[in-house]
Amino acid sequence: MMRSMTGYGRREAAWTGGSVAAELRSVNHRFCEVVLRLPKSLSASEDDLKRTIQRRCARGRIELTVSLIGNREGEKSLSLDRALARQYHRLLRGLQRDLRLGGTIDVALLAGLRDLVAVVERPLEDRQLKRIVRRLVGGALSDLDAMRRREGDALARDVRVRMRMIRDETNSVSARAPLVVQDYFDRMKARVEKLVGADVPVELGRLNQELAQYADRCDLTEELTRLSSHLTQFEAALKGRGPVGRTLDFLLQEMGREVNTIGSKANDAAIAVHVVKIKGELEKIREQVQNIE
C-alpha cells in the first residue's frame, strides 16, 4: 500500500498530577530525517525514540515533540555553600580592619555575594515516564501511519487515472507511427523523382533502399516499446507495499525522455498533439510523486 510522506499523530496520557503528550508531524523530504524535542529528563531516550521512528518511516522529515503538561519537569531546591560563606566573611573582616572601615558584615550582605546560594534541580524519577512516552510514541506513530496511508491511497487513485490517459495517448501514437514512416518514405521518394526528372534513368531498387534507411530515422518502435515497458513498471510499483517514491520518480524521468524523443523523431502534427498531452500528465504525476514515500 502506497503511503504519503505527510501525516500527523498525537497521543496523551495522565502522569504525576498532569499529563504527558507525544506529537508527531511528517512532511516531504528526500531522505528520512528525524527531529526530536524532548524534556531534559528524557534526553537519554533520544536514540531509542529515533530508532523507533526510523523503523516505521522510510522517508520524510519527522518531528517528535514530547511535552509535560501541568507539572514541572523536576523539583527545585536551594543550596548554601557554607565554606565559601566563611571565606567571604574572613576576607571582608580583614578588609574592614586594613581600611579601618565601619559597618557590619551581616547576612544580607553575604546573601548577595556570588555563588553562595544556588538553585538545584532534582530530576524526576524518569523510569516510569520513559515507559509512558514509549507507549505514546508508538500510538502516535500508528496515527501518523494511518494518515499517510489514507493520503497515499488518494494519491494512487489520482495517479492511476492519469496513467490510463497516458496509455490511451500512447496507443494513439502507436497506431499513427507506421503511417508516419510510410508518409515520410512517400514524400522523400516524390521529391527525389521530381529532382531527378523523367529523362534520367534511376535504379529503383537502390533508390528504395536509401529512402527506407532515411525513413527508419523516424521509426518510433524502439521508443514506444521502452515507454510501454516503463508504464508497466510504474503501474506495478503503484501496487507495491514498500517505499516506492524514488522508483516512481526515476520511471517518470525515463518516460519523459522517451516522450521527448518520440516528439522530435516523428515530426508529425498529429503525434505532436498526443506528445503534448502525455507530457502534461507526466508533469502532474511528478508533482504527486514528490509526496510519496
Q: What is the mean pLDDT of the chain?
A: 85
- Total domains in the chain come to 3
Which of residues 18 and 135 earns the better pLDDT score?
Answer: 135
Instruction: Map residue 68 onto helix, strand or coil.
Output: strand
Lowest mean pLDDT among 121-130, 171-180, 194-203: 194-203
Residue 82 lies in a domain: yes
Same domain as 119, residue 248: no
Contacts 24+ apart (CB under 8 A), 86-94: 88/113, 88/116
The predicted-structure confidence for 203-232, as pLDDT tens digits, reads as follows: 666 666 665 665 566 778 899 999 999 999
Same domain as 164, residue 243: yes
Residue 1 lies in a domain: no
Residue 2 lies in a domain: no
Mean pLDDT score, 262-275: 89
Same domain as 275, residue 156: yes
Same domain as 276, residue 223: yes
Same domain as 116, residue 130: no
Above pLDDT 90, what percent of the chain?
Answer: 53
What was the pLDDT predicted at 11? 96
Same domain as 217, residue 278: yes
Distance, in Å, from the CA atom of 183 to the CA atom of 204, rounded to the nearest integer, reads: 18
Same domain as 254, residue 240: yes
Residue 169 lies in a domain: yes
Buried b (16+ CB within 10 A) or exposed e, 195-231: eeeeeeeeeeeeeeeebeeebeebbbeebbebbbebb
Q: How many CB atoms lie within 10 A of CB 54?
A: 13
Residue 31 lies in a domain: yes
Band of residue 262 on the pLDDT scale cut at 50, 70, 90:
very high
Residue 85 lies in a domain: yes
Task: Tell me which residue has cell 500527523.
Answer: 8
Cell of 81: 555553600
Mean pLDDT score, 25-48: 92
Structural domain boundaries, residue 114: 74-123
Non-local (6+) Cβ contacts of 225 within 8 A are none
Same domain as 217, residue 249: yes
Same domain as 78, residue 161: no
Same domain as 47, residue 134: yes
Band of residue 137 on the pLDDT scale cut at 50, 70, 90:
very high
On whether the CB atoms of residues 116 and 88 are closer than 8 A, the answer is yes
Q: Residue 4: is its pLDDT beyond 90?
A: yes
Instruction: Map residue 33 onto helix, strand or coil.
Output: strand
What was the pLDDT predicted at 216? 63
Same domain as 260, residue 172: yes
Band of residue 201 on the pLDDT scale cut at 50, 70, 90:
low
On whether the CB atoms of residues 211 and 185 are closer than 8 A, the answer is yes
